Amino acid sequence: MDHKYTDIPDGDYFAIDAVNQSLLKQVLRSPAHARTYLENPPEPTAAMRLGTAVHLAVLEPDQFKRGVVIEPTINRRTKEGRLQYQAFLKQATGKTVITKEQAATCVQVGHAVTRHQSAMSLLHSGDKELAYRWEDPATGLMCKAKCDVSGGEEKIVVDLKTTRDASTTEFPRSCAKFLYHLQAAFYLRGVSGLPTGVDAYKDGWRFYIVAVETSAPHSTAVYKLDARSIIEGDKLVDRSMRAWAEAKLLGVFPGYDDEVVSLGLPAWALTEHEEENIDA
């Protein structure tokens, strides 16, 4: 591992020119989407702003007071109201803006997490908000990651996630949809200093997710990603790293394939026991 940063401001971390897990997810869609993501970062959604605020409220309460501002009640349908709101946004530059309802949610989520013994144990088992930078041995690309909690004697990486449904039936779907297994394999590489997430897993490192629901009663669950999840995550990381390295080397950032692709409906949309084949 080349570098590990402690107490690095978010602005300095964002300025580090390196691949992160968010970029890798965009590359899997296409290098063209990844380049657009870098050149024109999307505005945070309401859900993303809430997630950021919850992270600060739970992990860095002192930073929450300095980095989060509550949106005032302003009638933006009037000219005066729009001017007042623009002035507010100017003063709030660099901070996370949330509504009063979201602020209340942050407090309630914080209380829910503190009542979950396993979650609190994990969140206090390592260093908070450490940033890592390393070189990918296969492509030579510089990589970076900032972990909610990492290190410690237990060799852990912990990520706090807000979610609509943290149940054992629905949250695995979220993991697959949002590629949390890619993030896990990528973070394990950076924290352990080993070439792959699987290598880190074999060395005793584990990736945990503390999932807390954003709606009452704000139930909290803790998940440890298994070996198969890390294997699949590694495959995605490697595929994305190779595609991005090639795109940067050639200066060509392709979108979707030029060829015509045969499209089939997903299994759930097909008529049960339908055996007709009009191509025959």
Query: Hey, CA dihedral for 248, 250, 254, 259, is it positive or negative?
Result: negative
Q: Tell me, what's the pLDDT at 25?
A: 98
Is residue 251 classed as helix, strand or coil in its secondary structure? Answer: coil
Q: Tell me which of 113, 138, 162 is where a domain ends.
A: 113
pLDDT at 268: 87
Domain ranges, residue 122? 1-23+116-249
Residue 141 lies in a domain: yes
Give the per-residue pLDDT at 36.
97
Q: Is the Cβ–Cβ distance between 186 and 235 less than 8 Å?
A: no
Kindly state whether residues 84 and 69 are assigned to the same domain: yes
DSSP H helical ranges for 40-179: 46-59, 61-67, 79-91, 100-114, 117-123, 171-177
Percent of the chain with pLDDT over 90: 64
Check residue 276 and give its pLDDT.
Answer: 61
Let me know whether 163 and 75 are in one domain: no
How much is the pLDDT for 81? 85
Are residues 18 and 70 located together in one domain of the fold? no
The residue-averaged pLDDT of 260-273 equals: 86
Domain at 230, CATH number: 3.90.320.10
Same domain, 226 and 243: yes
Count of residues in the chain = 280
Q: Return mean pLDDT, the chain.
A: 91
Query: What span, in angstroms and rounded, lies between the C-alpha atoms of 77 and 156?
Result: 49
Residue 31 resides in a domain: no
pTM: 0.88
Contact 132, 190 (CB under 8 A): yes
The reply to whether 157 and 215 lie within a common domain is: yes
Domain boundary among 63, 79, 113: 113
Give the pLDDT mean for 13-36: 96
15 and 96 together in one domain:
no
Looking from the CA of 38 toward its CB, the CA atoms found within 13 Å total: 20
- Please give the pLDDT value at position 44: 85
Pair (103, 132) in one structural domain: no
**Is the residue at 8 inside a domain?**
yes
CA pair distance 196, 186, nearest whole angstrom? 8
Domain end call among 113, 128, 159: 113
> What pLDDT does 72 receive?
85
pLDDT tens digit sequence for 165-218: 999 999 999 999 999 999 999 999 999 999 999 999 999 999 999 999 999 999
Residue 69 has pLDDT above 90, yes or no: no
The domain total for the chain is 2
In a domain, 269, yes or no: no
Whether 199 and 75 map to the same domain: the answer is: no
Residue range 39-48, pLDDT digits in tens: 999 888 888 8
Residue 169 falls inside a structural domain? yes
Q: What is the pLDDT of residue 275?
A: 59
pLDDT band at 1 (very low <50, low <70, confident <90, very high): very low
Helical (H) or strand (E) element with 133: strand 127-135
Residue 230 lies in a domain: yes
Q: Per-residue pLDDT for 274 more than 70?
A: no
Residue 273 confidence (pLDDT): 61
- pLDDT of 98 strictly over 90: no
| pLDDT tens-digit readout, 73-88 | 888 889 888 888 888 8
Same-domain status, 207 and 74: no
Q: Among 111-115, 180-184, 241-245, whose mean pLDDT is lowest?
A: 111-115
The whole-number pLDDT of residue 277 equals: 63
pLDDT at 279: 63
Question: Is residue 221 included in any domain, yes or no?
Answer: yes
Q: Is residue 37 part of a domain?
A: no
pLDDT digits (tens, 9 = 90+) for 131-176: 999 999 999 999 999 999 998 788 999 999 999 999 999 999 999 9
What's the confidence (pLDDT) of residue 152? 75
Residues 169 and 245 in one domain: yes
pLDDT at residue 108 greater than cutoff 80: yes
Does one domain contain both 241 and 195? yes
Query: Do 161 and 229 reside in the same domain of the chain?
Result: yes
